[in-house]
Amino acid sequence: MKDIHKILVGCDFSKYSKNTIAYAAALAAKFQAELFIVNVINKREIDTILKVAEGQFDRNVEQYIEKSAKDYAKRVQEDRTRQMDKLIDEIGCGDLKIHKIFRIGVPFQELISAVEDEGADLMVMGQKGRSDLAGVIFGSNAEKVFRRCPIPLLSVRSKKL
């Protein structure tokens, strides 16, 4: 069995996130591994803001909307950093070497990319997360990661909440 030095955990701040991160943190403590907590800001949200700029004839309005989209991503990351810090405090895993990673893009693609970029040895994900109708029709992000993940992936089943 390959040694585990880096554990990556996906965090979408759903009701399942705390349990999933706690499980990954327990594994990191047991293996004395680094823990990478990854959150993806869905590009679809930013694209929606930018769509407003399409068809505008006034370049000043377009520039304002582009700036608003960048500001939105920055505000979301700041808010999610606070949420992540709160989860880390609640779980009590602050003594671990923890890396907080934020990405913008298609969630399952960015999670796979983070695995590769960070050289993770194990990925931990909850079996469910925030879902919507598109997830039901086209498959969840978790399911897509399960199919494509290049390293062992541990699925954490949450207790009934």
Q: Where are the beta strands (DSSP E) in 60-150?
A: 98-105, 122-126
Residue 80 counted as domain residue: no
In a domain, 122, yes or no: yes
Averaged over 89-101, what is the pLDDT? Answer: 94
Residue 88 confidence (pLDDT): 96
The fraction of the chain above a pLDDT of 90, given in percent, is 58
Q: What is the mean pLDDT of the chain?
A: 84
**Could you give the number of structural domains in the chain?**
1
Asked whether residue 22 is domain-assigned, the answer is yes
pLDDT digit string, tens, across residues 13-63? 988 899 999 999 999 999 999 999 999 999 888 777 666 655 555 555 556
The neighbour count for residue 122, using CB atoms within 10 Å, is 22
pTM for this entry: 0.82
Q: Which domain holds residue 22?
A: 6-41+86-156
In Å, how far are 54, 96, 120 from 1, measured between CA atoms? 53, 23, 15
The answer as to whether 52 is a domain residue is no
